[in-house]
Amino acid sequence: MRAFIFPGQGSQAVGMGKALADASPHAREVLQEVDEALGQSLSRLMAAGPAEELTLTENAQPAIMANAIATLRVLEREGGVRLAEKCDYVAGHSLGEYTALCAAGALDLTTTARLLRTRGQAMQEAAPVGEGAMAALLGCGLDTARAIAGAARDAIRLEGGGETVCTVANDNDPSQVVISGHRAAIERAIPLAKELGAKRAVLLPVSAPFHCALMQPAADVMENALLDADLRAPLVPVYCNIDAVPIATPGQIRVALVQQVTGMVRWRESVLAMVSAGVTEFVELGGKVLGPMVKRIAPDATVTSIVAIADIEVLAATL
């Protein structure tokens, strides 16, 4: 069995999608539709930068999606590969869940781009700049990360700082967990991390504390936005971030997309669940970020990352 998987924020880079668009009219069609949906030349920003503008959450989220869907569109139209025939499940990391839903036909491309623009803006505005932060804990698993987050909250409280948010945001793989919350608590967690069993802790260069309770205002915005979104049953089941189970109805999708704004990305559990369901092959479309995570979670799985035209040609020949 095979799963197609789609990367999340952090996989953006200036130049993304340019070679694909230069080589394929089908890729250009995707980028043009996203440009029209957003009323801006996102494709030009993707191709030429500047990097600091592309990295803005409201631009990075639709850009990453557009790049991945362009890759899939070329695979389908030029490689003759139909997702529903060659793929048993889809999944995406954080915003990649929107890409997965678009790939599986649950959302059209225009709607996906507009939802991600709304999501990016809402997440950026949910917490004042400087209030929140995120950190990657390396060389530790979920239980240790939870202990580190709890110790940081306790330390702030004992110092008279009151209650703070500090929680696991992304359970990426057995050796990489990300925490998110108030900056004071995250900064306190970094020196505590090594004492409590992590090899290293690194403050992440992000503009907001994603996937924690501080994002509740953004979850409220997305709940309203999704009420009006035209959602359909996906062609194949979608493993969702919030509970690592496959969803297949519009109602389930709406609930999952709202909850994932503040909830933990259960990527490690999602991969393990797909393996338990019989998946032996993972194909990452539009990036090379999730592949290494999957190999650390499921060493026996076959993992392929598809970015360039040459990658698409090789994959199409093997499917």
- The domain 132-206 belongs to what CATH superfamily? Malonyl-CoA ACP transacylase, ACP-binding (3.30.70.250)
Q: Where along the chain do the CATH 3.40.366.10 domains lie?
A: 2-126+214-318
211 is annotated as an active-site residue: yes
* pLDDT (0 to 100) of residue 291: 95
Q: Are 303 and 284 in contact (CB under 8 A)?
A: yes
* pLDDT (0 to 100) of residue 41: 95
CATH number given to 2-126+214-318: 3.40.366.10
* pLDDT (0 to 100) of residue 208: 87
Write down the catalytic residue from 24, 43, 211, 305. 211
* pLDDT (0 to 100) of residue 56: 87
26 is annotated as an active-site residue: no
Residues of the chain predicted below pLDDT 70: none
Q: Where along the chain do the CATH 3.30.70.250 domains lie?
A: 132-206
Q: Are 203 and 190 in contact (CB under 8 A)?
A: yes
For 277, other C-beta atoms within 10 Å of its C-beta total 14
Digit-coded pLDDT (tens) for 194-223: 999 999 999 998 878 999 999 999 999 999
Write down the catalytic residue from 11, 24, 43, 94. 94
* pLDDT (0 to 100) of residue 193: 95
* pLDDT (0 to 100) of residue 207: 79
DSSP string covering 99-148: HHHHHTTSS-HHHHHHHHHHHHHHHHHHS-TTTEEEEEEES--HHHHHHH
Looking up tokens 């932060």 gives 133
